[in-house]
Structure 1
């Protein structure tokens, strides 16, 4: 599988494995370790986490599995996110849900993630969501400290729109840092980041896009949903034409975009992984891409 260069230190696999549901899989460390090896054998080397996943448990689950094959660390890229406080947070006296982008919280979160993942360095750290209270200067100070300490190789954001990205990017550029990634919800069902210009804005600044929920959380396959039914009416014939599944066509649709969207998959079924990989081999025509696009819009383009 081809790799996407993120910066001079890090490259990601074109398909990324997400672990936000790892707690629900109820796997032993041995079972998860076997899955990690199967992913790497297929060229999927980038693993996406967040400190809050599984009520702060998924990073630890992954770390226990990784410990069984220490040599895997040199073959994978680990991404994690921070900045959200949940009521279940065991590290804060908080009964509510909020964001915390303080320097102290970011550094403490990274230290806990490193401990839970049982690694010494993150390949990328993302701020999980923008906050109305975000002080870009304080975030910059935290990232500068983490880079200096050798704890992160690259930095990015998640769910940031154009203005939120610009606010933080301006401060980081002044300190010779760079936002390398933005993780956005993008799928044939969810076009917001395409329609509002966020993806174009990232492309202009060479910020790579991780596409979370590329299957719209399974909503695409709910034919009782009128929008999903329209999209699937286009996907299904294309799947037959190219001898792949509808999942594969969705991956091909994302892959055709010039911003080279990297889908983050949440599956624990290796056959779904293989379906996605097969999708990378499909080259949709421009017309086929637009047929899916307009099915999602619900009307023809001007």
Structure 2
């Protein structure tokens, strides 16, 4: 790993939080089979590279990831001042940890938002979240009620900034008119390019808000030999990686971050080398022709 790697930070919006340009995604932390000390070491290594933002959700790991992250952080509480904690709420899973849930559903009521945020604080062992997102659009969501809940959490000092995840442009703008949103976290990769063409990124760029990106490596499809689209796109990415002398993953992250909406990608790996490759993507820029080579492979046709 390059010891000189240093990840810059970026303001998600005017007045929004400053996050690291690469965010460490904690979705699968329970699957990494790390001891508390190993989890702490992972956090420290991320911080040493400038990856200071950590993405959570109440439901991750069957409602368990926030607690194991908090357990690690409790071994070195002073680290809290160096990092940003992001979490999400609004999905209720059928899970042994929540025996009262009888059907998987969404809940964006004010009572659930507040209760979920307060539980995340307890699990993470912190007095505030830097950013709280509504995890999915809810057909029963009331924009005014969500804004009121966000306002209450801010007044009580429990959450500093707010955003959404997987929202359409119109849904984002409807809530953003009521309370300033810092981001919309959406799925995007060379195998999932819809946000470039459904106004999601255009709308965020227009209001000066950076999207956060989940599954930037297409959930592993870019590494699968059984996925025709993944094989086609990966061959182009590998060729460019060889040409520029950078790792495959770095090229993917660089391709994403080159968009003018200033996307902030999440990693999803417990391997620190994978995080380092994402950080390396902040150190170079693809040529315009290289960028469009990947887009052409992604869409399977020329741009015109």
Alignment TM class, shorter chain as reference: over 0.9
Q: Which residue pairs with 1:203 in the alignment?
A: 205
Deviation at 1:92, TM superposition (A): 6.1
Deviates more, 1:215-224 or 1:64-73: 215-224
Aligned residues: 297
Q: Which residue pairs with 1:284 in the alignment?
A: 286
Match of 2:253 among 251, 254, 257: 251
Q: Which residue pairs with 2:21 in the alignment?
A: 14
User: Residues of 2 paired with 1:94 and 1:158: CA distance?
Assistant: 22
Preserved CA contact (<8 Å) 2:66 2:120: yes
Preserved CA contact (<8 Å) 1:169 1:179: yes
Q: Which residue pairs with 2:3 in the alignment?
A: none
User: Residues of 2 paired with 1:274 and 1:103: CA distance?
Assistant: 39
User: Residues of 2 paired with 1:147 and 1:86: CA distance?
Assistant: 26
Preserved CA contact (<8 Å) 2:134 2:163: yes
- Counting only pairs closer than 5 Å after superposition, residues 58-69 of structure 1 correspond to structure 2 as 58-69=65-76
Q: Which residue pairs with 1:154 in the alignment?
A: 161
Preserved CA contact (<8 Å) 1:155 1:178: yes
SS where residue 125 of structure 1 aligns? strand
Q: Which residue pairs with 1:90 in the alignment?
A: 97
Deviation at 1:279, TM superposition (A): 2.0
- Flag structure 1 segments of 5+ consecutive residues without an equivalent: none
User: Residues of 1 paired with 2:212 and 2:175: CA distance?
Assistant: 18
User: Residues of 2 paired with 1:148 and 1:277: CA distance?
Assistant: 35
User: Residues of 1 paired with 2:268 and 2:74: CA distance?
Assistant: 21
User: Residues of 2 paired with 1:202 and 1:101: CA distance?
Assistant: 22
User: Residues of 1 paired with 2:8 and 2:185: CA distance?
Assistant: 19
Structure with higher RCO (Cα < 8 A, 6+ apart):
2
Preserved CA contact (<8 Å) 1:242 1:282: no
Preserved CA contact (<8 Å) 1:56 1:89: no
The structure 1 segments of at least 4 consecutive aligned residues displaced by more than 3 Å after TM superposition are 89-92
Q: Which residue pairs with 1:5 in the alignment?
A: 11
Deviation at 1:167, TM superposition (A): 2.4
Match of 2:63 among 37, 49, 56: 56
User: Residues of 1 paired with 2:116 and 2:122: CA distance?
Assistant: 10
- Flag structure 2 segments of 5+ consecutive residues without an equivalent: 1-6
Give TM-score scaled by structure 2 length: 0.95
Deviation at 1:93, TM superposition (A): 1.6
Preserved CA contact (<8 Å) 1:210 1:264: yes
User: Residues of 2 paired with 1:106 and 1:161: CA distance?
Assistant: 20
